[in-house]
Amino acid sequence: MSSMQSNSSANVTFVRPATFFINGLFNIPHVKYYYVFLSLVYVVTVLGNLFIMCIIYLARRLHIAKYIAVFHLALSDLCQSSVLIPKVMDIFLFEHQEMSYEACLTDIFFVYHFMNLQSLTLLALAFDRLVAICFPLRYHAIVTKPAMFLFIGVMWIVSVTFFSVLVSFVTRMSFCRSNVIDSYFCDYGLIYRLACNDNSINILLAHMSFGLLMCTPLILIIITYFCIALALVNIAHGADRIKAMKTCTSHLILVAIGYLPLMSISIASLTTPFHSNTRLINNSLTQLIPPMLNPIIYTLKTEEVMQSVKDLYKRSRVNTTRERRMKWSGRNSKHNFQV
């Protein structure tokens, strides 16, 4: 421990390490194969999310409130993977396992912030489906682009404020025992366990974070789909019911991929002791696989996106053919002029 700060008013000495030592994935057998897999996951994640963002930006038919939320989900997924995977590669593949105290606090903020944005964006999409199915005649009046931008703005303000407070309370902890973090990033839940002074407020914030990240959005999404199910029961025609259900398919798959593995691991860890390596691999997969799959699911399972992709492809082919004809006619006219 390199730096010490004294609080004379409380007569308490705070010990802050100059660096934390990230030790989570280092001792796993054949772990380099896992790094290769994570590299492939990152490449697919970047390409997939950039693709869906470009499609939404270029296709005018997708310039509606729903796809503002989808664009934001893709952006959050891209940022989440970019915060985690390159740093994991740097830490373990190149053995840069020491992370400065300030860099660790920054890592905590961005990892949890973008996880929270993903969760809240799924809630925004659930609200979109609720209004579309339960109040179809008022959909365009309720789910507007300004309303969606306002929701996303509030989402950012709440998330930034909460996780800034959470990170600020790390500076109140004294680390006089160890600076080794048995994870692949600066995991807040492991850091407050290293403190040797009173960390009750940090435990409370950790529980609030768990509720903010997972429990509250998931409960609200479940309530949303309960209301949607009741509305679908009242639809007289079976074809209309199936059509309405199809509009929810992609979102339900995203919710299942985003929440079920993480909730299952959290519940299982309370009843069954996991080996630390198993826990780390499972946690990393639940954080990194959904951002890779989300754009693929939205592209393949949403008719509007697929039709937009086809339209943009046809438009690009028409433009390419037109350019070739213009070049060919230009060459012919030049040749005739020379003759």
Amino acid at 337: F
**Band of residue 274 on the pLDDT scale cut at 50, 70, 90:** low
Q: What is the C-alpha to C-alpha distance for residues 70 and 297, in angstroms, rounded to an integer?
A: 12
- The pTM score is 0.87
Residue 262 pLDDT exceeds 50:
yes
pLDDT in tens, 89-102: 888 888 888 999 99
- Report CA-CA distances (Å) from 73 to 49, 123, 161: 9, 11, 20
Q: For the chain, which domains are there?
A: 3-323 (1.20.1070.10)
Degrees to nearest 5, angle at CA 209 with 207 and 212: 115
**Given this model, what pLDDT does residue 248 score?**
86
**Band of residue 8 on the pLDDT scale cut at 50, 70, 90:** very low
**Given this model, what pLDDT does residue 308 score?**
87
Q: What's the mean per-residue pLDDT of the chain?
A: 84
Q: How many other C-beta atoms can be found within 10 angstroms of the C-beta atom of residue 226?
A: 10
Residue of 241 and 107 predicted with greater confidence: 107
Average pLDDT over residues 199-203: 88
**Given this model, what pLDDT does residue 311 score?**
85
SS3 letters across 127-165: HHHHHHHHCHHHHHHHCCHHHHHHHHHHHHHHHHHHHHH
pLDDT in tens, 283-325: 888 889 999 999 888 877 788 888 888 888 888 777 777 766 6
- DSSP 8-class letter at 42: H
**Given this model, what pLDDT does residue 20 score?**
92
